[in-house]
Structures are given as C-alpha cells and as structure tokens.
Structure 1
Amino acid sequence: MTSSIRRPPIAGAIVPTVLAARLERFARHAMAALLALFGCLLILGHARAGDGRGEAVTPGAMQSGGLLVRNADGPGFTEAVRLGTDVYLSVSGPTVRGRITQVFRNTSDRWVEAVYVFPLPDDGAVDYLKMVVGNRIIIGEIKPRAEARAVYEAARAEGRRAGLVEQQRPNLFTNSVANIGPGETVLVQIEYQAQVRQSAGVSSVRVPLVMGPRYNPRPGADGADPVSNRAAMAAPVLDPRRYDKTNPVSIRVQLRPGFQLGEVKSAYHAVVDRPEGAGRFIMLTDGEVPADRDFELTWTAAPSAAPQARLFRERIGGEDYLMAFVTPPSAATAAEAPREIVFVIDNSGSMSGLSMRQAKASLLYALSRLKPGDRFNVVRFDDTLTKLFPDTVPADAGHLDTARQFVSGLEARGGTEMVPALRAALEDPRPEDAARVRQVVFLTDGAIGNDQQLIDTIARERGRSRLFMVGIGSAPNTFLMTRGAEMGRGTYTHIGSVAEVETRMRELFGKLERPVVTDLAARIEGTSADMTPAAMPDLYAGEPVVVAIKVAALTGTLRIEGRIAGETWRAELPVAAAIEGRGLSKLWARRKIADVEAERSLRRITGDVADARIRDLALAHGLVSSQTSLVAVDHTPVRPVGTPLTRQDLPLNLPAGWDFQALFGQVAQTRGVGSTSPAVGEGDEGRAVTLPRTGTDAGLRLAAGTGCLLLSLAALALTRRRRGMVA
C-alpha cells in the first residue's frame, strides 16, 4: 500500500497566477544571462591562457595549465621557454654524421638564459656548434673547458648572445644559451660524428632522445663525491599526469650503407622510407614525436651482400686514418664449458612500471636457459641488496624454482645503490677455478649519476668474471652499459620493450654459450701506426673486430689474429685496397680518449695526466670532451645594461614506461615535477626536485563554479514556485 502526504499551505505562500508567470519569465532571463556570462568567462580565460606573455605569476594565478619556472632573481614564476628538436642523420658506410637542431623561443617579456640537458650517443664526437638569431649566424669554437665557461659567462654578463655546449658525461651534454630577448627565437645546431654499430649481421644507429632522472648517492665518509658535475646532472622532469609532453622531435635519416640493403626497421618508432639512389631516406610516420624514448634504426645486408671484412681510409689535415671492420667466423660446434653465472637485477624506483616487467621477464627467461652443469645465483638491489643464496648453487629444479619465486615477487622501490650490488656479484670465492667460465649478467636502466665510480669498480675488481650489461627500458644509460661491458670484457644488450625480451635474451645467451675470440691482436706491416683500442677486447658470436688507426702512410697490410676454440684465426687487409670513408679522424680521437679514460680507471695513470692527454686530443681534433667545450659568442651586446637575466632550466619528458608516482612519491604530489629519485640520499633539503609546480586554471574554475552556483539557485527558486502553485 502506498500513501502520499500533502503539505498544508504555508501562510502567505499562495501567489497569484500573473505574479507566478512573471517570476518564471524573470528566472528564465536570469539563467540565460548567467549562461552568456559563463561563456564570456570561458572565452576570456582561453584568451588569457594563450597570450604567451609569460609575465611573473604564481601557480594560483594561472588561468590554464602551464609550465612555470621559479624566477632566480626575484619572487614568482615565469612560463618556460618552448623547445623543439630536429635530428638529421647521414649514414655513410661505417660512420654516421648527426645534426641536432634545437629551437628555443622566449615566450616571456624578459631576457632569459635557457639551459637544456640532452643526451647523445656515448661514442659521439661532438665538434660543431652554430647559433642563428634573426639574421645573425654565430659559429662556435673549441676551447679548454674552464676558458670556454669564462668566455660564456663574460658574454652573458655583458648582454651578448652566447651559447655553450659542455660534456657532463660522454653521452650527456648541457646546452646553455644566454640573452634570449622577449619574443625572440634562437636556433642552435650541434653536430657529431659516430660509428655505426654492428652485431650478428645487423647494423644500427641509436639516438638518445631523453635522459632519465639519475640517482645520486651521498658523498662518502671521506667527503669524496662519487657524482661528478652533480649540479649539472639535475634537470626538471615533467609529471605526465599533469603536463602534456614537451620537446617535439622530428627525425630524418639518409642511409647509404655501402652495400645492397635488406630489411630496414625501427623498433620503437613508426617510420616510412623510400629508395634514394643506392640507399634509403627514412623519416617518422607522424612527422614528429615527443622526446620520451630513444630512437633506433637497424638494417641488414641483402643475403648475398653481407661483407665479412671492410677497410676505410680518410686523409685530413695532411694525416691518414684507417678504420677496419672484420667479422670472425662462428664456432658453434665447439664444446661448451660449464658456467657459473650471477644474475643481478635492479629493482629500484626508476625501474617501476614497464621496466620492471621487462627485467623480470628477462631474468626468468635467462633462468630457463641454464643447463644441469651450470651454477648460478641471483642478487637484487635498490638501496639495499639481497643475495638469494650465500654462494652459487647447482641449476637443478629445486634451486631454479626458488629463484623463479624470488624474481616473480620483486617490486620496484627505493634508491639505486649499484656499486655494492656489483661488488657482491664480482666477489669470487674460487678465483683459480679454470674448469668454469664465470659470467655476471647485470639487468638495469643504469639511472645513476656515479657512472665513473661503477666503471672504476669493474676495472679494479672484475677478476676472472666477464660482465654482460642488459639495458632495460626506453632510455637506458648507454654510456654506463657500453663502457661497463667493455671494462668487464663482456657485451651490452638493450631490451626496449616486453616484446623484445625473448629475442634479445636469446641473442645474449647465444653469446654466453659460444666460445669467445680471445688473444686478439692487430698490427700494420709496412708503416708506423697509432692504433685504438690499445687493449683488444674479447669478441662474441657475430661481433666484428673494430680497429681505428692513425698511420704514417697508406701502405702495407693490416693483420688481425686471435684464437677461436683453441684454433688460430687470421685476417689480412691490404691498406691500398681501403675505400674512402668520412669522419674517421674524429672517431679515432674519440676512441683514443676512451683509452685514456680506461687507463685512468685501471689506475695506470694519474688523473692529471689523463686530463692533459684528453685536452690535447680534443683540442687537436676539435671535439667536446670532459676537458673541452664549444662556445659561441656574438660580439654585439643586445640586452640593455641593467636589465635582469632570468635562468630557465628546460624540462624533460619522463621516459616512456616509467612510473612517475613510484619514482618521485610524495614529492611528486606536492611539487609536480622532479629530477632525481626520492631516495636520492641527500635529504629532503638537498633533493634536486625542481619546479615548475602545478599551474592550474584556478581563476577560471572559480568563475565557472560561481556561475554554476547561481544557475542552481535560480533553478531551485523556479522549482519551489512551481511546487507552491501545485500545492
């Protein structure tokens, strides 16, 4: 049974019909006026959001989402300089010439200095800087690092336009541009020379497009800082939950490999290519993409065109240079020695998300490839570490099952204390055991600032172990991975997506399970030569011997030999048969610098001697290095005397697949953007977590809320009048 209750009329509530109609018309007109006012507020809000004036503001005063940078010389914030990047690669045989063009636009009404941290290939020889402002073109010069910095700072203080490119790591650079005027656009172009990488018949070039936040350990008890250039390593990182991705990048590749091409592909970006002469022209399908993952292009030779040995030559400045690529034959039928393998997996905060999934899948696959005669152990680390077993154990069903459960339960969190984990893996209780091959497989994104400390540890403590670095994620630290593998006499493998895990790990185990080419040596007969690398590395299946040489004359024969499964292998290349190459002198100098760094790590030379040799090599060949920089200065002052200059650190995208919340935690909630792991080891007051903070459309939302409230009140009044009439 249902019932209804009719309220008794309230005294004075009965309204004449004519008055009720007038009130209803008034309410309708009021609602229409409020809607019009609300629309005007929206239009005004969007207009203010898009004017791009960039005056000093506070986050609460922003009318739309925006990127703010705290003013260095006063209160408030300024909207950041916009940025775009174009990458052009010209591949010619074994070398690639890269040209990076960056566009800085000052959207504010102030004179600014823009500072941008950007990655480059770890073997890239940076040698050219050009700035274009209006109709002014300014070309950079290589100078000793301190001198270049002094020249730049003097120009900045005097109001002259200036650019400075400094190396913070062999694969990490900073680009500073001073005195960008209000509304002004500055084009900065940087060029470098690099080597085409080859492995298992696949050639590749890689362009790092984003630098992941680095974990920077505290200085030691002795006060020594393990992180060189600590301040320069910090760069703001956008929270993708609050900001759109920035720094759009276009990429074009002119590919002339010197042989008939087979398959050409890009694993992480959609590309289109068209035939062009004897090569191809490749570009991004979408024209441009956000810089949130590294770009990699690979190609193979047609089945009948794969060369086994090539020798290139270049004459420049009255001097001759050679570069040789020789691929030894495989020895797949040789007997395999039993192995002792230690797997190290990084489960720190930077590995959150897809990186952790890739690392766990990779390690689980590796465990499945162990054989009954092998021994193994697993070490996991963040800012703590765990050794699964006290020592390596037989690869039997019980131990493997325990290891699989351990790996499956890992979660990413904490800081990245990599050195203690490395030492635990390299610790060898049986250094004289010649019956087993000892191997360490290290899975990480390499997101640390103390790269050199880790490389020095490998050089001093590797013993008989061979270190195989596995780079995980969309933007691994390739300098650390490549140099660590070289010092550890192993190889570097990159896994950029879950789909690649099985393929890349199968390739790695193909190398682990096959004998290496050992006792490698190279010499030239018939002329004197300065050869690099100074110490020839061991090679694994499918890897070529790569030798760069400065020669007195283009005569004689290059001889390379080594041992494969106990048998002698030799290759001979007549120097007179070398074909023309480009950029070989730059690559020779860059590799000689790497030799000097290796000598430093092995403590065969002092730091002062190493610095002097690097400076001399870099100045002679016009390269940016740890001891030299590129500086460009316009001699005409443009910033009026007394006008302040604001520094703006341009932000980076978070690498694709990284978990911002897991990486920055509570800091992310309060600051909106970060540059290092929360467990950076410096205390909250020392964290390099940088603004901009959130810029919201608070004013617009307040107006919208007020409009909605008034509309609701009008609607409520109209409803009550109608109810009163019904009653």
Structure 2
Amino acid sequence: MSFISQHPATAARPRGWSHSLAFILILASLILLLVASFIRHAHAETPPAPIPAGLVTLGDIESGTLLFNATEPGKYIPAPLLATDVKIDVSGPIARARVTQRFINPGDSWVEGKYIFPLPEDSAVDTLKMVIGGRVIEGQIKEKQEARRVYEEAKADGRKASLVEQQRPNVFTNSVANIGPGETIVVQIEYQQTARRDGDTFSLRFPMVVAPRYTPKPADPRFVDFTPGSGGWGDLQPQREDSLDEPPVLRPEMGKVNPVSLKVSLDAGFPLGDVESPHHEVTISRDGARKAAIALKEELVPANKDFELVWKPAAASAPTAALFRERVGNEDYLLVMLTPPSGETQIEAKPREAIFVIDNSGSMSGPSMDQAKESLLFALDRLNPGDKFNVIRFDDTLTVLFRDAVPAHGENLAVAKKFVKGLEANGGTEMLPALRAALADGNPGDTARLRQVVFLTDGAISNESELFREITSNLGRSRLFTVGIGSAPNSYFMNRASEAGRGTFTHIGNETQVVERMSELFEKLGSPVMTNIAAVWPDGRTTESWPNPVPDLYKGEPVVLSARMPEAKGMLTLRGDVAGEPWEVRLDAGKGDIRPGIGKLWARRKIEQLEADARIGGNWERNDSAILNVALEHHLVSRLTSLVAIDVTPTRPDDERLTAKDMPVNLPEGWDYDKVFGEQAVPPAQRAALQKSSAQYAAFLAAPASAEAAAGIALPQTATDAPALIHSGILALLLAAALTAIWWFQRHWQATAWARRSR
C-alpha cells in the first residue's frame, strides 16, 4: 500500500483537485467543439473570395479556378463553375429523372455560362426551373427562335434567365445569363424515358459528357488535306442541318471538372435478381424483393463517362407482357412492352455475308481501340464455314481488306485477324466513305444469304443526317448492326442508324463486356425471331401508334408500342410469324397499370418518327409543322422548341459588362487528347491552377442550399459536418490529454510535498 493512501488528508486534496479539473476539461472540450463548429459553418456560408474583375494573370489567382485564354498574351478570363446532381426514379419500365445544375461565378464580374451536356437520346425533356434566392421560376415552352429572342432580351436588360435548347436528341445546351459576382444560380431540368430491355436484362443509361465530334469536310476524303486548321475536329463549319456547338475540352492533366452526384430509386415491378453498374462503383440498398436504392460509392465523380445501371429479375424469366396507360385531358395514352416467345422451333439460320467495319480514328485510341479489336476478333471466331465476310477499316482514309466478301475459312480468317491486330488509332473520322463501301452490294439478288453489316465505332461525328440519308437510300437487302464502343459513345447516332438499318444496337463500355455482349449480338444475327408484325387496335380509325410499321424483332428484344386513343377500351391484338408459324397475343387496352408520363413518351416517339420520315421523304416543311405542334402541345424540348425561364427583375447594373463563355468539359475517359486535337502546350502555372479546381468544387458543393430548399425545389445535400466534427473531436481529445498530463504531474508533485511534510 502506498504512503499517500495511508493519509486521508493527503488523498483528499488531489481528489478535490480532480473534480475541479474534470469540470474544466468538460467545459473546455464543449467550448472547443462549439467554436470549431461555428468556424466550420461560418466558412461554409462564406462564398469563395471573388477573383479580380476582367482579365487576370496567373499571379492574381489564389484558389483553384478554371481559366479561358484571352486575346491578350498572359491574360485569362475566370470561368464559371458547375456541379450536377442527378436523381432517377424507375417505376417498371418508366424512368423519371431530375437533373439539378448549380452554376457558380467565382469572379467579381458578371458572366453568362453556357453548358453543353448530354441526355439519353429518347428523353422527353419537359420541365425547367430556375432558382433565384427564395424564388422558383418555371420555364415555358416556346418555339425555338421565340425562346432565343426572349432570352436575349432578358440578358440585355440585366435580368437572370435560363434557356434549354436541343442540338441533337441526346445533346442539349443550358445558357444562364447574368450570374453575379460570387453568385450561385440553380437550374433544374426533368425528363421522362423508358428503360431498355434485352432478353431478361433491363438497363438504363445516363450520359455524362458530350464527346468531341469530328466534322467531315464536304469533299472526297481521298483528296483532303487534314492538316490542323483545314477541317476535322470542330474546325470546319458543317452543313446547316448538322450544326453542333462544341464546348472547350480540358486536357486530362489539367484536372477534372463538372462533378456529378447520382442516385437511382428502382422499383422494378417484379422480384429483383442481380443489380449492377458496369462502369461506376455503387452502393446498393435493397428494400424488399422489388425495390432497391442505388448511389455512387464516391459521392462525387467527374463527368467523363456514361453511367449505366443493369438489373435482372430473380426468376428465370421476366414478364412477357406489360401494358401501361395515362389519361391526359380527353385522351388515353398507352405504352405496350411485349417480349415475343423465343419458340422451341427456331428458323433455320441461313449462311451470312458479314461485313465488319471498324473505326480506327483518333477518338478510338486507348481502351476503345482495344475493345473494338477484341470485339471484331471475337466476331471472326464466331463465323461458320458456310459464311462469307469482309473487313473495312477507316479513319480519314479507308481500307477494304478483300476485293469482295470471301469464304470464312482458315487462310482468309488468318489474314483478317493479322490485319485487325495491327490496327492503330489515328486521324479523323470520315465515316461516310466506309458506310458507302459497306452497303455496296455486289449481289443484291442473293436471297440465300443474310447480308449483315456490323459497324464498330464510338460515333463521334457531327454529320449524322448525312449518314442517315445514306442508310435509308442504299440499305437494300443489308441489315445494319451498330456496336457502340467506349465510355461515351454517340448513342443517338448508333440507335437511329440501327433502326434505319433494321438491325440492333449494342454498347460495349469496357473489356469485361466484350464476350457477353458480342455473344448476344451473334445470337441475334442468326435470323429475326419474329417477322411480319402487325398491331390491330380496337378502333384503328382514331388510334395513332408508333412505330408504324412495326419492325422485325430479334431475340430478346420486346415490342415497344406507344399509342393515343380517345378511350382505352377493347382488345389490342398483336400478330406476327415466329419460326414460320403464326403467332398472336391479345391485351385488354383498358386494364393497363396507371403511370404518369406515358403521354410525354408517346409524343417523343411521334417526333422521332416524324424526323425519320423527313429524312427519308425529304419533306421537312410538312414534318416540321407537325413536330412543332406535338412539342408545343406536350411541353417538350425538340429541334424546333426550347424551354426558357426569365426573371422579371433586373439585377445586373447598366454599367456592368457581361462576359459570355462556354463552360469546359472533360475528355471522355480512355480518350487520348493528342490523338484527337494534336499536341498543345499548356503553361505549367496554368496547369497547376487548374488542377486545384476540384477543391473549389468540393467547397462549393459543401455550402448549404437553404435558400433553394426553402423555395421548395429538391436539391442535393452533398456534404455533412462530419469532417469538421471529427477534427474538432481530435483537437478536444488532444487538449484533454494535455490537461490530464498537467493534472497528473500537479497531483504527483502535491502528493510528494505532503509526504515530505509528514516525515
């Protein structure tokens, strides 16, 4: 037993001191936590320090900031920043998406930001909201020229305005005028789409970046000089109908911009099996057998590749028929999704004449080229001895491997495989000559073979209409199957090309998907599962349905029909031929599940059909009038209509100048910048400044959005106080440890002193 414990008086003093010290420690810890929390919130609510107005030098920049080159050497213009939050609700085959874009002006001058962004090619964009302080301004649908006029007037008057325009069915622009110094403007866009189905697999894609598009010169590519400045990647003014604004693309070493957060609420309508995202890491939370919540594992990811979600039913087979409807005004809208039976007796597969076209232009460099080559080598191995084939490769030049299609035997296949393995990506994307060569049929009367063109490309071109015309004019007996390669393919072109070519579209986003998806494609290449399909509606005179006529179907692909009728009643009959035998199914049109947005999807499908008819028939004036009427009636963004939101109160002073700049985007993941744009030197100081931009984005997103939330608009809360509280807790523990040490030494000293006195 120690000496101190034998003297109560000795023990009493340290114990009293410990009570006081414990109280002091607790009080100090609480004060420190409160101070740290207060500092944290004060810092979060303080906007980033404005950058000097007008042109700046690199020495003026104190935080990570995107800069545009100015005409004056050594001077730059601060660029507005952007962050995006995506929320997608999936109910059965229908998805409703809300895309929230937050624009911030880091400088102390007034700016107009223009952001070029992608959406799914079948999206029906119908809603625009702009948040200013505590107010929400609803966007209105107007004819495109009128919407632009109204926007320009508001911009000139100093009023805040937002304008959403369509450049392609999968490419949109959002212009936001009069963003004040250090100010944030929130713009929210909503759209409707359907999930894709292939066999028992359902999928949904959200594109995140518009890949650079190659603009061909309007001349024979064999006589074109592709030196910088003479044409090619965005340098040449394309034809009017193919005009496409392109944003500045940031070099990868400068850092990543445009962070995205994304969540999906999935209600499949049937017991769920596997749910996965092939290209992003995600967290998946199950809610019963039919529902799941999916979120990006990293809360924020750069917008540099498409997001894809894939889900399957738990049972061996998914539902074979689904009917959905919506009542809008005095009319009913129907969506029918029907998967035909595969049939125990399949049509005997005919020998094929397979023409493989592979894109080896500069945009395909890196992983995309590897995926394309692996896919083509896989396809060559799957040819049967009775088949014929040829291989065409293109960049800004063209090579047709054999003079004509050759038998698929060992020697010819060996030559083709060696040719494919030696391909390298470089040059421009002159796709039209390759398409013409592929569709050139030396034996148009040959009915003994199925002539199939398999086109492997990222579709990074701007002259889609020219290519569509070529397909519809010269398809003949060929069928066109497109294979989209890479992290951000031009899905609009790939889907429409396959539809016009009466084939199918397959996307391969990474090497792990090559075998699975090419195997599925080759099952479809054998022969159509169902032909001569017809839809007989209860009242054909008053029913308008799309597509019309219904195309042939391949294995696993459902019939997807949209229809409008005065009243959904009576029996819908679908007929076709399966394996040479008649097939029929009947559905009660009045018993479909109620789903919102079916009318929007019908309108979008009708616009697609009218666009296709115009490309084939050339009667743009008549079809444009119908497209405009449908888009205005259903409040949809289209080639001829735009959404515009205008504030009534001017905010920019008359003497303040407005700077307008396109907002930069990332290069798609896996792309080689120098292969696409050529080598361009970047000053080291500017590169270092740009690389810090992610920190500024994080600080921007962490700021609370209380004003917007109070206005009734759903916004992401992408940051919490956890990091600050953890830091505060650690500081409190360190302080407590220090005070405890002092107390222990003080107690030990007092005990020693009392012991000496007791002697």
**TM-score, length-scaled by structure 2:** 0.79
Contact 2:50 2:181 in 1 (8 A): no
Distance 2:376 2:317 in 1: 36
What 5-or-longer segments of structure 2 have no aligned partner? 1-47, 221-230, 691-759
Contact 2:51 2:61 in 1 (8 A): no
Match of 2:559 among 526, 534, 545: 545
Query: What's the offset of the Cα at 1:272?
Result: 1.1
Distance 2:660 2:70 in 1: 7
Q: In the alignment, residue 150 of structure 1 is paired with which amino acid? A: R
Q: Secondary structure at the match of 1:589?
A: helix
Instruction: Give the equivalent residue in structure 2 for 1:298.
Output: 310
Query: Structure 1 230/460 Cα, relative in aligned 2: closer, same or farther at 3 Å?
Result: closer
Percent identical across equivalent pairs?
52
Distance 1:423 1:226 in 2: 20
Contact 1:67 1:80 in 2 (8 A): yes
Instruction: Give the equivalent residue in structure 2 for 1:676.
Output: none
Aligned pair 1:621/2:634, yes or no?
A: yes
Aligned pair 1:328/2:340, yes or no?
A: yes
Distance 2:52 2:413 in 1: 59
Q: In the alignment, residue 406 of structure 1 is paired with which amino acid? A: F
Instruction: Give the equivalent residue in structure 1 for 2:51.
Output: 53
C-alpha distance after superposition, 1:505-550 (max 9, x if no partner) = 1111011124342111112125631010122111100000000000
Distance 1:92 1:240 in 2: 37
Distance 2:612 2:49 in 1: 53
Instruction: Give the equivalent residue in structure 2 for 1:372.
Output: 385
Contact 1:162 1:633 in 2 (8 A): yes
Q: What aligned pairs does 1:146-545 form with structure 2 within 5 A after superposition?
A: 146-219=145-218, 226-228=238-240, 232-241=244-253, 243-276=254-287, 278-303=290-315, 306-331=318-343, 333-526=346-539, 528-545=542-559
Query: Structure 1 151/346 Cα, relative in aligned 2: closer, same or farther at 3 Å?
Result: same
Contact 1:78 1:108 in 2 (8 A): no
Q: Secondary structure at the match of 2:356?
A: strand
Contact 1:260 1:305 in 2 (8 A): no
Instruction: Give the equivalent residue in structure 2 for 1:93.
Output: 92
Instruction: Give the equivalent residue in structure 1 for 2:579.
Output: 565
Query: What's the offset of the Cα at 1:108?
Result: 0.4
Query: What's the offset of the Cα at 1:568?
Result: 1.4
C-alpha distance after superposition, 1:350-377 (max 9, x if no partner) = 0011100000010000000001100000
C-alpha distance after superposition, 1:470-511 (max 9, x if no partner) = 000000000000000000000000000011111111111011
Query: Structure 1 413/214 Cα, relative in aligned 2: closer, same or farther at 3 Å?
Result: same
Q: 549-558 vs 339-348, which deviates more? A: 549-558
Distance 1:180 1:123 in 2: 31
Contact 2:242 2:463 in 1 (8 A): no
Query: Structure 1 232/182 Cα, relative in aligned 2: closer, same or farther at 3 Å?
Result: farther
Query: What's the offset of the Cα at 1:577?
Result: 2.1
Contact 2:346 2:529 in 1 (8 A): no
**TM-score, length-scaled by structure 1:** 0.83
Q: In the alignment, residue 246 of structure 1 is paired with which amino acid? A: V
Query: What's the offset of the Cα at 1:203?
Result: 1.0
Instruction: Give the equivalent residue in structure 2 for 1:6.
Output: none
Match of 1:635 among 648, 656, 675: 648
Distance 2:425 2:666 in 1: 20
Query: What's the offset of the Cα at 1:664?
Result: 1.7
Q: Secondary structure at the match of 1:602?
A: helix
Distance 2:605 2:203 in 1: 19
Distance 1:665 1:283 in 2: 37
What 5-or-longer segments of structure 1 have no aligned partner? 1-49, 673-692, 699-727
Distance 2:663 2:237 in 1: 26
Distance 1:566 1:440 in 2: 24
Query: Structure 1 697/101 Cα, relative in aligned 2: closer, same or farther at 3 Å?
Result: closer
Contact 1:63 1:696 in 2 (8 A): no
Distance 2:118 2:324 in 1: 28
Contact 1:219 1:225 in 2 (8 A): no
Q: 254-263 vs 179-188, which deviates more? A: 254-263
Contact 1:129 1:139 in 2 (8 A): yes
Q: Secondary structure at the match of 2:454?
A: strand
Instruction: Give the equivalent residue in structure 2 for 1:119.
Output: 118
Contact 1:91 1:253 in 2 (8 A): yes
Query: What's the offset of the Cα at 1:606?
Result: 1.1
C-alpha distance after superposition, 1:310-364 (max 9, x if no partner) = 1111101221011111111114643110000100000000001110000001000
Instruction: Give the equivalent residue in structure 2 for 1:141.
Output: 140
Instruction: Give the equivalent residue in structure 1 for 2:677.
Output: 664
Cα RMSD between the aligned structures? 2.2
Query: What's the offset of the Cα at 1:418?
Result: 0.6
Contact 1:141 1:631 in 2 (8 A): yes
Instruction: Give the equivalent residue in structure 2 for 1:107.
Output: 106
Contact 2:116 2:173 in 1 (8 A): yes
Q: In the alignment, residue 281 of structure 2 is paired with which amino acid? A: A
Distance 2:655 2:292 in 1: 53
Q: Secondary structure at the match of 1:162?
A: strand
Contact 1:589 1:617 in 2 (8 A): yes
Q: In the alignment, residue 209 of structure 2 is paired with which amino acid? A: V
